Structure 1
């Protein structure tokens, strides 16, 4: 058996741009220093990958591509045959070479692990610009910059990694992701969102909690203040008092000239504000890079630069001259090499240009507020100021809660006084404890970004290491504590590696209809994405125990149709809400029912690929997360646990929602969810093979009649009067332009949908049907009343599906009505839901046919002018080696499958772990467990539901225990 590694990992860089509302921070162009690593030329090879512009949309623009740069080093790799690991750096806001050359830890540990090293550049940075690689065009306005976001970047990384592994024949090589600062955030989020791609992450100095309502805006500068104060009380006082002296001096005659000379400012523009910003930048970045050895990350600096700055301030030779002291300190940061003759306050160079855009769209990180104790001038951070600034500079309105909606981090309301006590007991702790694994969070407490970091262990596999720095190149001068940190990180990896080597009709008042104002595109920030539409949801609070009791909320993740249809056929939720005192919510999927974007106008919304491009599973999941969090907030029910339910495509969405949004839902019941029914995962014949077995299990004669019917119909058509004979036999309405093709399709639909809804009790989900309709069809075929008239037998069988009520006088094959609003599914089947089915082998009751992707692609190009993305779903949600993925990275999911359901061929049929459970019913059909119960239900169905309820109850009980321990 191939060796498989499982890791948790390592990484550190500190490079988020400090965005004070009252200053314009400078980020010096990096001068890279590899002397400590003795890095040879050829440290890496440079390659480019053809990346798609928009992963979450399917309109024509989204199919544009760009060249994404990545760096690769295979010097130490043990190779694909040995399943040797791949270490991937999640590029952040800058040139990827800069980060690669300052990430010695990966290079120095690669030989130990025989790892391939890959450094991927973030879109819109370095040389990875969309729109023809033209930086000016890419950064022109919000229409182009809208494609710059963290979610698009993560999807880039997943797509590139999977393609790289395929090309290297290294599909079984484990991937560990690394990142520092924003790159560390990306690494942690990647592990949470793409656990099927990466087995672990080292998120170094990753402030994943540095968002609105999670941390005090004073935290960042308070840590900087403490850094300087810990070196010298006098140093602290001098800096704290300097700002007023600068202001007072600037207002005096000749004051600006005095400041220019004191700080050696070049003879260009100077003002009190610009000078203060220049000094603040030096103090801030010196605190961020207060390394114990000399460095050249942001600027050439000595070991412990904060100490050096304070020593310069405390130097007695400067007497009481505050400006001389402050200049000496700033000189440590700006001119430690001693080569500068004067300093330029205004520097237009912008190596991190895209970050200003991100800081105005999604990365709304409150920092820069200064209280009375701060070394910086008092200032109150306000969201309103950020909004105003972003509207003015970027012409965009920030989405301050999007990051916590997408990745988690929400916290119950606490006061600033409570903050210290609850600092490590955030919602994120519960989320990661239940749903995450294999993440190392490293934070250095002298780093001002550590205030937004994870500082305590969450579980055995989500580890917080707190010190000062970890991932730079090692040197002989490294202190013992730093050596110990790195040894601890390597030990964790080694331990993981070793372990892995062994390793019915609706009642009146059943629900109330409501609408939610939903955003058009969650994953883009161009102007169009801010359009909204009204999303319908149904709610029933009859049985709810209320927000004060933290009573649960059961949510149905709507699938491809009118939400009322699914609600009225999901009795399981209504029947069990009383025992759980649950609130019931059924959310309609965008582009279905009454949840139509573009003014609710279906004609406009379905007009072409430019509008239909916003119809996708990922957008739908983000809709659900956004709506649920808003609903909980409005109900003051932030601590009420959410369980999601869904059947068929809705079941897929429920499972994926639990995997992607574990901070929103504590568990999922995914009924008849074919999450494996995608290319390269199942045979295209599996769907029809199960239908064949359903009919054959009832009667061998029934099977033979169906199997031979297609040839008989073809032969009949060729005979004089054959078409009229078929019309009369099958009672086809005379208005139809009748031919063998439509008749074949009509019969296929009957056999297929009857197999899907082969319920043990009468139903009216797709059509009115008796109990066990497949049996009834075969009884009609085997009936002696039709003797040897095969066509009459086929009609009698089809009549069970199309006319069990006996009211039809003829059948309209031209009927293209869509009573359940399923029209959008054809688009999804052409864009992302490329589910190979319809192939028929020699044993099939359907004519022998080989399914081909090319045929699907041609059809989709012709009908929608869209090229399918057949591997997007498995890239985004996983599918390959699903057992390993779900075992390591998922929890609290029930997969139900009935083996008579043709979709069960793409389902999870075996239990993965104690919390990812498969329930299989031999006689079960398509999401039969979610239907209303009846007195006629067989024992096996009753047992299925009892088991599901017991598991759901255990999830909720565990949640309440966790909640109690948090408080």
Structure 2
């Protein structure tokens, strides 16, 4: 499933590249900020760190633990569990506000407590900074395993109730009841920041909802349409070459005699086996994911001290696709796949749906998909959809239609297409989709980021402003400033800062 959303906490690139389950924020071999992590379909959002290093702001933050109810909506259920959180008091001034960074679909990364634009804002206004890890991700384990029966306690509504109880209790114990609280998040956590202000206005004074997909939808073909336009912005021929390569591969997959060559061309871990449409769709989506991930996080400056990253950008991929010395477009497509594997030190590519199914149905906290994949895809099957299908003619890939994504819900969790559709409808009914009736929420989005299609890109009211940043990717405004930043990105960060300062005076 491809459900990218991403500005969240860390996940493994191995999961991002192999399972492509959480493209969000974009999110555990290489860690990403789970504050912006929705993947390109499977909320892949599991982003990789950028290459620019940044100085850290203060000593590392130690993890702390907060007692939560397992089910906030059943008074008869008294079960409890421990939720992880982090604190940075370096900038706090008595009487100052409280900034609450919301965790998302991956482990909460304490690097956020030392880096990121939100700390610049906090320093200006004397804010106390907190970050709460999302239930069922990272070390926040409410149940003994990830069985489908236990995952029923994983939802955005339960997560918001966690935030509300955390905010209320911490405010009482730390003497912060009369302080103004600001919620922040990117990707899926950006949506949570929106809905926290919407559903608990008495607890949250304002929110910064970066790259937030606020509208749930089963089918999200617009994602790949933005990928086409983003590739074309670098070179108009680039998406055409990608499409030609993808179409060629689809034709070759129909002939079993070509499978040995395809196995070699893409350096697969085992001989390509195409026994069902799910096998071919998973393979094709895995390869398309190379382009989807790079577009989603293009030049977003995720680098921090001690982080391992890459500077592979749209420009790099389109350069490979335009290099005729590598052969025809199909050969260049294979070269892109090998480049990505080399970059992340992957010896081979496991593109087997059978392996993926085994991993995704492993319910252990030690399982290969427990870093966020099994959990996030469950949320897409029971709340959001977000499936980046090839059902639109205006995109460069072939072979992974909506039916492929929906079938995974049945395979992993026994969720039917009808149940999925009803769940997505209920989500929009509960939160309002694009029709947000609230105040003091700012919505930054980047034009390169495919997730902006489900977000707010135009002002709703003067008190619900959009900050649409031309030429930037998923959650770019959340990362530290760089001398290489586009002028409009720098201006956007400053504009958001001024908006926050104004709201904190209200």
Alignment TM-score > 0.5, same fold: yes
Q: Structure 1 pair 386/249, CA: closer, same or farther in 2 (3 Å)? A: closer
Aligned counterparts of 1:193 and 1:71: Cα–Cα separation in 2: 24
Any unmatched runs of 5+ in structure 1? Answer: 1-10, 20-24, 410-425, 501-967
For 1:73, which of 38, 63, 88 is the aligned residue? Answer: 88
Are the equivalent residues in 2 in contact too, given 1:12–1:471 (CA < 8 A)?
no
Any unmatched runs of 5+ in structure 2? Answer: 1-32, 275-279, 360-367
Are the equivalent residues in 2 in contact too, given 1:191–1:439 (CA < 8 A)?
yes
Per the alignment, residue 106 of structure 1 pairs with 118
SS in structure 1 opposite 2:259? helix
For 2:295, which of 287, 293, 297 is the aligned residue? Answer: 287
Matched, 1:307 2:315: yes
Matched, 1:178 2:184: yes
Q: Structure 1 pair 26/481, CA: closer, same or farther in 2 (3 Å)? A: closer
Alignment of structure 1 residues 663-678 onto 2, 5 Å: none
Aligned counterparts of 1:99 and 1:402: Cα–Cα separation in 2: 35
SS in structure 1 opposite 2:468? strand
Aligned counterparts of 1:234 and 1:293: Cα–Cα separation in 2: 26
Count how many residue pairs are aligned between Structure 1 and Structure 2: 443
Aligned counterparts of 1:168 and 1:34: Cα–Cα separation in 2: 38
Q: Deviations over 1:566-596 (max 9, x none)?
A: xxxxxxxxxxxxxxxxxxxxxxxxxxxxxxx
Aligned counterparts of 2:66 and 2:193: Cα–Cα separation in 1: 20
Aligned counterparts of 2:186 and 2:206: Cα–Cα separation in 1: 15
- The offset of 1:72, in angstroms, is 1.0
Per the alignment, residue 381 of structure 1 pairs with 402
Matched, 1:159 2:178: no
For 2:503, which of 476, 491, 496 is the aligned residue? Answer: 496
Q: Structure 1 pair 98/450, CA: closer, same or farther in 2 (3 Å)? A: farther
Alignment of structure 1 residues 439-478 onto 2, 5 Å: 439-467=441-469, 468=472, 469-478=476-485
Per the alignment, residue 342 of structure 2 pairs with 335
**TM-score using structure 2 length:** 0.80
SS in structure 1 opposite 2:67? strand
Aligned counterparts of 1:386 and 1:376: Cα–Cα separation in 2: 15
**TM-score using structure 1 length:** 0.43
Per the alignment, residue 275 of structure 1 pairs with 283
Aligned counterparts of 2:494 and 2:396: Cα–Cα separation in 1: 36
Per the alignment, residue 21 of structure 2 pairs with none
Are the equivalent residues in 2 in contact too, given 1:37–1:104 (CA < 8 A)?
no
Aligned counterparts of 1:315 and 1:75: Cα–Cα separation in 2: 50
Per the alignment, residue 802 of structure 1 pairs with none
Are the equivalent residues in 1 in contact too, given 2:70–2:81 (CA < 8 A)?
yes
Per the alignment, residue 393 of structure 1 pairs with 412
Per the alignment, residue 102 of structure 2 pairs with 90
For 1:370, which of 379, 391, 394 is the aligned residue? Answer: 391
- The offset of 1:291, in angstroms, is 2.0
- The offset of 1:299, in angstroms, is 8.0
Are the equivalent residues in 2 in contact too, given 1:456–1:463 (CA < 8 A)?
yes
For 1:241, which of 240, 244, 247 is the aligned residue? Answer: 244
Specify which structure has the bigger relative contact order, considering alpha-carbon pairs within 8 angstroms and separated by 6 or more residues.
2
Q: Structure 1 pair 32/240, CA: closer, same or farther in 2 (3 Å)? A: closer
Per the alignment, residue 406 of structure 1 pairs with 430
Matched, 1:357 2:374: no
Are the equivalent residues in 1 in contact too, given 2:253–2:259 (CA < 8 A)?
yes
Matched, 1:56 2:94: no
- The offset of 1:33, in angstroms, is 6.4
Are the equivalent residues in 2 in contact too, given 1:92–1:121 (CA < 8 A)?
yes
Q: Structure 1 pair 171/32, CA: closer, same or farther in 2 (3 Å)? A: same
- The offset of 1:148, in angstroms, is 0.8
- The offset of 1:254, in angstroms, is 4.7
Q: Structure 1 pair 495/400, CA: closer, same or farther in 2 (3 Å)? A: closer
- The offset of 1:238, in angstroms, is 1.5
Per the alignment, residue 350 of structure 2 pairs with 344
Are the equivalent residues in 2 in contact too, given 1:222–1:370 (CA < 8 A)?
no
Aligned counterparts of 2:50 and 2:331: Cα–Cα separation in 1: 30
Alignment of structure 1 residues 767-846 onto 2, 5 Å: none
Q: Structure 1 pair 106/334, CA: closer, same or farther in 2 (3 Å)? A: farther
Are the equivalent residues in 1 in contact too, given 2:220–2:388 (CA < 8 A)?
yes
Per the alignment, residue 145 of structure 1 pairs with 151
Aligned counterparts of 1:34 and 1:225: Cα–Cα separation in 2: 25
Q: 118-127 or 271-280: which moved more?
A: 271-280
- The offset of 1:103, in angstroms, is 6.0
Q: Deviations over 1:529-585 (max 9, x none)?
A: xxxxxxxxxxxxxxxxxxxxxxxxxxxxxxxxxxxxxxxxxxxxxxxxxxxxxxxxx
Per the alignment, residue 202 of structure 1 pairs with 208
Are the equivalent residues in 2 in contact too, given 1:85–1:175 (CA < 8 A)?
yes
Q: Structure 1 pair 354/99, CA: closer, same or farther in 2 (3 Å)? A: farther
Are the equivalent residues in 1 in contact too, given 2:440–2:464 (CA < 8 A)?
yes
Alignment of structure 1 residues 270-669 onto 2, 5 Å: 271=274, 272-291=280-299, 293=301, 295=303, 300-302=309-311, 305-318=313-326, 320-336=327-343, 339-346=345-352, 348=359, 349-350=368-369, 351-352=371-372, 353-365=374-386, 367-377=388-398, 381=402, 389-396=408-415, 397-398=419-420, 399-409=423-433, 428=435, 431-432=436-437, 436-467=438-469, 468=472, 469-497=476-504, 499-500=505-506
Q: Deviations over 1:85-109 (max 9, x none)?
A: 1110111111011783796112233
Per the alignment, residue 13 of structure 2 pairs with none
Q: Structure 1 pair 235/459, CA: closer, same or farther in 2 (3 Å)? A: same
Per the alignment, residue 168 of structure 1 pairs with 174
- The offset of 1:341, in angstroms, is 4.4
Aligned counterparts of 2:128 and 2:85: Cα–Cα separation in 1: 13
Aligned counterparts of 1:187 and 1:26: Cα–Cα separation in 2: 17
Q: Deviations over 1:596-653 (max 9, x none)?
A: xxxxxxxxxxxxxxxxxxxxxxxxxxxxxxxxxxxxxxxxxxxxxxxxxxxxxxxxxx
- The offset of 1:39, in angstroms, is 2.4
- The offset of 1:301, in angstroms, is 2.7
SS in structure 1 opposite 2:424? coil
Per the alignment, residue 927 of structure 1 pairs with none
Are the equivalent residues in 2 in contact too, given 1:470–1:485 (CA < 8 A)?
yes
Are the equivalent residues in 1 in contact too, given 2:300–2:479 (CA < 8 A)?
no
Q: Deviations over 1:654-713 (max 9, x none)?
A: xxxxxxxxxxxxxxxxxxxxxxxxxxxxxxxxxxxxxxxxxxxxxxxxxxxxxxxxxxxx
Q: Deviations over 1:409-441 (max 9, x none)?
A: 3xxxxxxxxxxxxxxxx6x1xx52xxx110001
Aligned counterparts of 1:402 and 1:253: Cα–Cα separation in 2: 44
- The offset of 1:389, in angstroms, is 4.5
Are the equivalent residues in 2 in contact too, given 1:83–1:174 (CA < 8 A)?
no
SS in structure 2 opposite 1:108? helix
Larger Rg: 1
Q: Structure 1 pair 189/102, CA: closer, same or farther in 2 (3 Å)? A: farther
Are the equivalent residues in 1 in contact too, given 2:59–2:114 (CA < 8 A)?
no
Per the alignment, residue 222 of structure 1 pairs with 225
Q: Structure 1 pair 407/438, CA: closer, same or farther in 2 (3 Å)? A: same
Aligned counterparts of 1:102 and 1:245: Cα–Cα separation in 2: 47
Q: Structure 1 pair 453/31, CA: closer, same or farther in 2 (3 Å)? A: closer
Aligned counterparts of 1:378 and 1:37: Cα–Cα separation in 2: 40
